[in-house]
Amino acid sequence: MAKPQFKKAVDTNIKTDLPTLRQPEKFMERTEQISWSELEKQIGAETETFEREVFSVNIEPTVKKVIQKAGNKIGRNKGGSREIVKEAIVEYFRNHPELI
């Protein structure tokens, strides 16, 4: 049985006015449809304001080395490895908008 504190922390029925205490967002269960063009505009706006979030994934060591090497050639000021990964993901969703 889970601790009562844990149940309270993840209970999505709890509403709070504090912006720092948000309940988990059920991203995959959204009912409204967001088009890829709207998401692409939002990505562009977040890029201009330098909004970033950490997203960790496990990849093969060779792929990591290739991304790092290419990122070093691009340079840190132009985004480096982050820009390569972002561009690849954006291009993937441009080709597969049905996944959104």
pLDDT, greater one: 54 or 81? 81
pLDDT of residue 27: 53
Q: What is the pLDDT of residues 76-95, one digit of tens each?
A: 888 889 889 999 999 998 89
DSSP element (H, E) containing 90: helix 80-95
Go through the chain and tell me how many residues it has.
Answer: 100
Give residue 66's pLDDT band: very low, low, confident or very high (50, 70, 90).
very high
CA distances from 14 to 3, 10, 84 (A): 17, 9, 39
pLDDT at residue 11 greater than cutoff 60: no
pLDDT of residue 62: 94
